[in-house]
């Protein structure tokens, strides 16, 4: 035991191993698609459900292009459909396998000569992320408590930190609940949560003291550890969980694995933006909360529902702050949610890279498209006043953003988290809880 603690206190050397089989994407390409209006978005969503097109970036009409990944099998047919709808498109990545190889080289060189990378400075493995949270809890016992909520489908410990000056006993404070990596391949999302832990606990600055004094924090850096590890070791572009259901496979004569966790929550389940094909990236599962990982998010929400003022579900990519509902019905407090979401987007914009997109803020359905079973909708419907899906930037790299951008994304996203933390306290104390 003492050996373990010594190891923890002397820092966690993040150990990088790459083996992500990039060759499985040999011949795959990514195309930008210009969107003129909502009908163009609908064409893309139908391609997603009908031809299994992998939608990388949603795009928004006249704001930014969508990005789709095509396989050698579906490419001709999909491009023909775009052409026949008069939709302009262009080649963005000619060979996905090659760009993933480049990504692996980027990661190796990032680690080369950097012995003491912290888990928020790289794309750390799940065990390293858990070890970081353990170290924080051991070193700062008065502020940070580590909770193991249970095991993932494949048996990994799902852990989160509770950060509070009063061990969550002062109920006059709001709770801010953030989570990340619900979708496995969205690697940039986890560093922003770890960096938030770092800024609240290890590097609390004078100007941020109110955030620790006035707000309690729940930070769950990896919702979907099985998918995340699979995206490190087997398939960089894996999105869903890794659960196996033999009955479904027999019934559908498939051997597919996993469901889309962000379609698996119990809100308008299996109605919009889903596919009944268990092999699809947007298969919602056979029933709400079929996935143990989404049940954990549900359980955290319900345990603290009286005090969670903001739920921030962090995804990538596209630079959006989105609120519900996903079926285009605006919540009663939509004006407040918009106000807080816009403050987040604008604050991030003040620190963005010159060439990066400005954040776009709005209702998820009206901005992007209809979905169902999403975590942020579920949180709002069960009583979290302000519930968002945050889509981080990608700087046109897609999911395989080089690690030298992590620091920038952490820093700018923290600005958005800080302002929304302050607004959470303000709204909570004014009893704006509808």
Ligand X SMILES: *[C@@H]1O[C@H](CO)[C@@H](O)[C@H](O)[C@H]1NC(C)=O
Q: Which residues are the active-site residues?
A: 391
Judged by CB under 6 A, does residue 380 bind ligand X? no
> For 287, phi and psi rounded to 5 degrees?
-155, 160
| Of the residues 77, 213, 299, 303, which one makes contact with ligand X according to CB under 6 A | 213
Q: Alpha-carbon distance 308 to 378, whole Å?
A: 13
Q: What is the nearest approach in angstroms of ligand X to the Cβ of residue 366?
A: 13
Residue closer to ligand X by CB (options 2, 247) is 247
Between the CA atoms of 50, 52, 54 and 59, what dihedral angle is there, to the nearest 10 degrees?
0
Task: List residues bridging with 68 in a β-sheet.
Answer: 31, 55
Cβ closest to ligand X, residue 56 vs residue 289? 289
124 counts as binding ligand X under rule CB under 6 A: no
Among 65, 134, 214, 394, binds ligand X (CB under 6 A): 214
Shorter beta-carbon distance to ligand X: residue 112 or 431:
431
- How far apart are the C-alpha atoms of 268 and 273, rounded to whole Å? 11
Q: Find out whether 143 and 165 touch, Cβ atoms under 8 Å.
A: yes
For residue 158, which of 150, 170, 146, 167 has the smallest C-alpha distance? Answer: 150
* Among 294, 274, 279, 281, CA closest to 244: 279
Which residues in the 289-328 window bind ligand X by CB under 6 A? 290, 325, 327
Site residues for ligand X, 9-68, by CB under 6 A, read: none
Site for ligand X in 249-278 (CB under 6 A): 251, 253, 267-268
Residues 169-188 that bind ligand X (CB under 6 A): 170, 172-173
Distances (CA, A) of 83 to 53, 177, 327, 397, 433: 16, 44, 29, 25, 48
- Comparing CB distances to ligand X, the nearer of 92 and 173 is 173
Between 2-9 and 126-139, two packed helices, what is the crossing angle to 10 degrees?
Answer: 90
Determine the interface stretch with ligand X among 19-27, 240-248, 304-312, 398-406 (rule: CB under 6 A): 240-248
Q: What is the dihedral of CA 103, 105, 106, 110, to 10 degrees?
A: 140
Which one of 256, 330, 381, 411 is in contact with ligand X (CB under 6 A)?
Answer: 381
Stretch that binds ligand X, among 25-33, 135-143, 241-249, 312-320 (CB under 6 A): 241-249
Instruction: Tell me which residues touch ligand X (CB under 6 A).
Output: 170, 172-173, 213-214, 245, 247-248, 251, 253, 267-268, 286, 290, 325, 327, 329, 381
């Amino acid at each position: 035991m003492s050996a373990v603690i010594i190891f923890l206190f002397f820092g966690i050397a993040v150990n990088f191993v790459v083996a992500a089989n990039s060759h499985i994407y040999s011949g795959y390409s990514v195309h930008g698609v210009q969107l003129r209006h909502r009908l163009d978005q609908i064409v893309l969503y139908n391609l997603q459900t009908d031809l299994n097109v992998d939608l990388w970036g949603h795009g928004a009409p006249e704001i930014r292009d969508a990005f789709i990944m095509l396989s050698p099998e579906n490419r001709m047919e999909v491009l023909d459909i775009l052409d026949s709808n008069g939709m302009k498109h262009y080649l963005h990545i000619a060979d996905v396998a090659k760009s993933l190889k480049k990504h692996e080289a980027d990661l190796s060189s990032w680690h080369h000569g950097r012995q003491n990378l912290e888990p928020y400075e790289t794309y750390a493995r799940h065990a390293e992320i858990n070890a970081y949270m353990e170290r924080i809890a051991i070193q700062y016992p008065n502020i940070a408590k580590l909770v193991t909520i249970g095991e993932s489908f494949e048996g990994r410990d799902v852990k989160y930190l509770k950060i509070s000056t009063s061990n969550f006993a002062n109920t006059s404070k709001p709770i801010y609940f953030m989570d990340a990596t619900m979708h496995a391949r969205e690697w940039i999302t986890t560093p922003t949560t770890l960096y938030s832990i770092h800024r609240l606990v290890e590097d609390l600055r004078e100007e941020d003291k109110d955030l620790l004094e006035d707000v309690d924090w729940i930070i769950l850096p990896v919702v979907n550890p099985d998918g995340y590890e699979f995206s490190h070791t087997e398939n960089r572009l894996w999105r869903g969980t890794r659960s196996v259901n033999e009955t479904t496979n027999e019934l559908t004569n498939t051997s597919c694995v996993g469901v889309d966790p962000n379609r698996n929550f119990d809100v308008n389940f299996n109605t919009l933006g889903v596919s009944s094909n268990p092999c699809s990236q947007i298969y919602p599962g056979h029933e709400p909360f079929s996935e143990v990982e989404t049940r954990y998010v549900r359980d955290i929400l319900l345990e603290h529902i009286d005090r969670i003022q903001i739920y921030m579900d962090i995804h990538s990519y596209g630079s959006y702050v989105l609120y519900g509902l996903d079926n285009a019905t605006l919540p009663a407090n939509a004006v407040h949610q918009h106000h807080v979401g816009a403050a987040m987007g604008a604050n991030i914009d003040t620190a963005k890279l010159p060439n990066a997109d400005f954040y776009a803020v709005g209702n998820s359905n009206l901005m992007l498209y209809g979905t169902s079973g999403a975590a942020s909708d579920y949180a709002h419907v069960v009583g979290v006043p302000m519930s968002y899906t945050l889509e981080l930037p990608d700087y046109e790299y897609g999911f395989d953003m080089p690690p030298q951008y992590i620091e920038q994304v952490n820093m700018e996203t923290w600005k958005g988290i800080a302002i929304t933390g302050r607004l959470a306290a303000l709204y909570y104390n004014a009893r704006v809880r509808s």
